[in-house]
Amino acid sequence: DAMVIQNPRYQVTQFGKPVTLSCSQTLNHNVMYWYQQKSSQAPKLLFHYYDKDFNNEADTPDNFQSRRPNTSFCFLDIRSPGLGDAAMYLCATSRGLGVSRQYFGPGTRLLVL
């Protein structure tokens, strides 16, 4: 029944060691989003894909990259994680842009040592 799936649920990495987080969806939605949520803060959008079109938020650091090889999967790559990148990373999907409802995955909690 899971509609937006994220793996792993918890990820521990070392300072500067590249890490990849995974998201998949069974909803066949056109749009996939990646959000960063730090403790006691609101989710902050990093970027989104509308089909294969990539849209980066202006203030998203270059350290964060994303790939969407097909409709179902989207990856978040952190090239050189810093201590400040420790957070919950949430994937979300929607059918379209604008007024379309966004559905969130369970998140991956990233710890940087």
The answer to whether residue 101 forms part of the interface with another protein (CB under 8 A) is yes
Closest CB to another protein among 18 and 76? 76
Q: How far does CA 21 lie from the centroid of its chain? A: 7
**x-marked contacts with another protein along 27-46 as a string, rule CB under 8 A:** ----x-x------xxxxxx-
The answer to whether residue 90 forms part of the interface with another protein (CB under 8 A) is yes
Amino acid symbol at 33: Y
Sheet holding 19-25, edge to edge: 4-7, 19-25, 73-78, 64-67
Which of 23, 85, 105, 112 contacts another protein by CB under 8 A? 105
How many residues line the site for another protein (CB under 8 A)?
Answer: 24
Amino acid symbol at 37: Q
Q: How far is the CB of 87 from another protein (least distance, A)?
A: 13
Closest CB to another protein among 57 and 77? 57
Write the CB contacts of 54 (distance below 8 Å, at least 6 apart in sequence). Answer: 47, 66, 68
| Cα dihedral 24, 7, 22, 45 sign | positive
Applying CB under 8 A, the residues found at the interface with another protein are: 31, 33, 40-45, 48, 50, 55, 57, 90, 94, 97-99, 101-107
